[in-house]
Chains A and B, each alone.
Chain A
Amino acid sequence: MTDALTTVEPPAAATPRGGGGGTLRYVLSKVGAALISLGLIVVLGFVLFRVLLPGDPVRTLTRGAPVTPEGAAALEREYGFDLPLWGQFTRYLGNLAHGDLDRSLVFKVPVAQKIGERLGPTLLLVGVGTLIAVVLGLWLGTRTAWRRGSRFDRTATGIALALWSAPTFWLGLVLLTATGGLFPSGGITYPDTPPDFLSQALDTAHHMVLPTITLVAVVYAQYQLVMRSSLVEEMHAEHLLTARAKGLRDDEVRRRHAVPNALLPTVTLVFLHLGLVVSGAITVETVFSWPGLGLLTFEALRFPDYPLLQGTFLVLAAAVVVMNLVADLLLRVLDPRVRAS
């Protein structure tokens, strides 16, 4: 009898555990997909800013300002426009491999150097903003789902919907007008702040208040709404009945069985929509003249400085792809349901 128990069931179900081979294959496929995406970004960057760019390249680069024939030839050589398209592509790939993104037309320095300078402020703003938004959004999402239909739910969900509906930059502009000089209107520090760490940090924090509030306001709303509907969905799950039957208190049922199950897919979605944060950063940095990659994109756009635009496009898009890869791998560790599929 005992033998029969394990033998008759369908063979497919008899495989024990997810198995180490499955994990390796998963990691490889995800890394492979991310590499393909990165390759596509590189190609897209070339196609957008080299192939599709209309008109005479030198005129485009100089925006029609008069140049001597020698100057034009020098420019063509510097940016590789004298090469055939395929040659331009190999030159572009070769340069990328060395981290060379050409020279910015506006700033007259290498694009890579400029991007390096602006990376820090963006990481600071986006990092702090996303952290606050995730914590606030998930907490409010959980609370509103638990008490759905209550006045708290109606108010919090209403506010989130309203904030989600308003354009980011407008919120920033309104905040600026409304606070009327209480906070600095732009930049990251005042030029006359003493150079010691504490003064610099305090001044930076002071400058960061409005941009962070604006970024959080738009992003948290999305997280809250997603978490709420995910948890409402999860609260219909049949295994919650099992948990109640076991004698768990209602709050234990939610905390142990509903919230973790809803949290994991929400976090995936958060990472999948990281492009939203990048978009938010571009507009927020523009409104508050925060010297990060977003403002750099805007400055490049105004000129328009194509090499610089190409650089920011590559860096921002690649960053999002890499973050997604990290999220995918992390989720595989955290959520057994991902392993099942």
Chain B
Amino acid sequence: MTAPEPVERTPGPAWARRRAAARRAWGEFTRHRAGVLGLGVLVLVIALAALAPLITDADGVDVTRATGGRLEPPGGRYWLGTDESGRSVLLLVLWGARISLLVGLSATLLSIAIGTVVGILTGHFGGWGSALLMRLTDFFLVLPSLVLAIALSTVIGPGVGTIVLAIGVTSWPSAARLVRAQTLGVEARPYIERSRALGGGHLHVIGKHVLPGVLPLVLVNTTLAVGTAIVAESTLAFLGLGDPVAISWGSMLRSASNSGAVTAGAWWYLVPPGLAIAVVVLAFTLCGRAMESVLNPRLRER
């Protein structure tokens, strides 16, 4: 063997490769107009929600300091009218975004975390433990999640934490199924057998091959699941399972429905929070679908 000549190009530790892959993926993502639109909406909404205390006066959402009349229609002073206590609907929608997004994100993180762990474990390890866990997953998957969430939150008592827990605990099974399927797909590839033949243990196989193979899917699934979680939050809050004082889009709709806004024809109180939910959820969905087609070129024509 001849002495190897000095190398100039080091094989770029994984980072350079990942950066290049990320750049490629981003380039691909920007080709999906709907996805870019969704991302733009999300960035805007998240920024507005985060900056709400800076750009608006928190006093405006305090019932005792409300300045407007009851259910005033939109006008020069209140662009989107007022609610039954005389607060600006626009201001409420802005502040409601904070709880809705927070609950949506944290519930999703909870459910995806459970789902990913269960999915990888059941996909990687065989045996009866795995089979049992899978049966349990199937059971929870079939169970009507709203019914279970209602049952859970009546037991724990209403509140923001309850909603996060109820959504998180009821929505993990679909993530688990998806991650498991993907894990099984990766595990069936011969490079896993090669890795085991090279002496790699469970941790090595999971850490080096399975997890990196599953993560992109998890990311997509998270994006799509946030939307579902935000809708679930609004439903639970509408049914009265949320924190009665916290302002979220769901609790606004509950107040609107309870205060007779429907019969009074006060559409300005009813439409904005619902539209906000629909727009944000749609934005998450469009983003997620664009990411999905970046990952799986066969879906590109969807």
Contacts and interface: CB of A to CB of B under 8 A. Distances in A.
Contact of B277 (A170, A283, A321): A170
| Chain A interface, >50% SS class | helix
Contacts of B144: 274-276, 278-279, 316-317, 320
A162 to B, nearest CB: 6
Interface in B249-271: 250, 253, 256-257, 262-263, 265, 267, 270-271
B282 A161 contact: yes
Nearest to A323: B142
A190 interface: no
B298 A176 contact: no
Given A148-B302, A170-B277, A229-B302, 15 more contacts: A33-B138, A165-B281, A169-B253, A174-B270, A174-B271, A229-B299, A272-B141, A275-B142, A278-B144, A278-B147, A301-B150, A309-B150, A309-B151, A317-B147, A324-B142
Contact of B274 (A161, A166, A180, A286): A166
Contacts of B102: none
Contacts of A298: 239
B282 A165 contact: yes
Contacts of B154: 301, 304, 306, 309
A9 B118 CA distance: 40
21 contacts: A36-B139, A48-B152, A52-B156, A148-B301, A161-B282, A165-B285, A166-B281, A167-B277, A167-B278, A173-B270, A174-B267, A174-B270, A177-B267, A180-B265, A229-B299, A232-B301, A233-B298, A278-B144, A279-B146, A283-B239, A313-B150
B240 A302 contact: yes
B290 interface: no
Interface stretch (B16-24, B213-221, B227-235): B227-235
B286 interface: yes
B3 interface: no
A85 interface: no
Interface in A96-136: none
* Contact count band on A: 35 or more
Interface of A: 33, 36-37, 40-41, 48-49, 52-54, 148-149, 161-162, 164-171, 173-174, 176-177, 180, 185, 228-229, 232-233, 236, 272, 274-276, 278-279, 282-283, 286-287, 297-298, 301-302, 304, 306, 309, 312-313, 316-317, 320-321, 324
Given A48-B155, A162-B282, A232-B301, A173 B274 contact: yes
A272 to B, nearest CB: 7
Nearest to B257: A173
A53 B154 CA distance: 9
Contacts of B156: 52
A236 B299 CA distance: 11
A146 to B, nearest CB: 12
Interface string B116-155: 0000000000000000000100110111111110111011
Contacts of B301: 148-149, 232
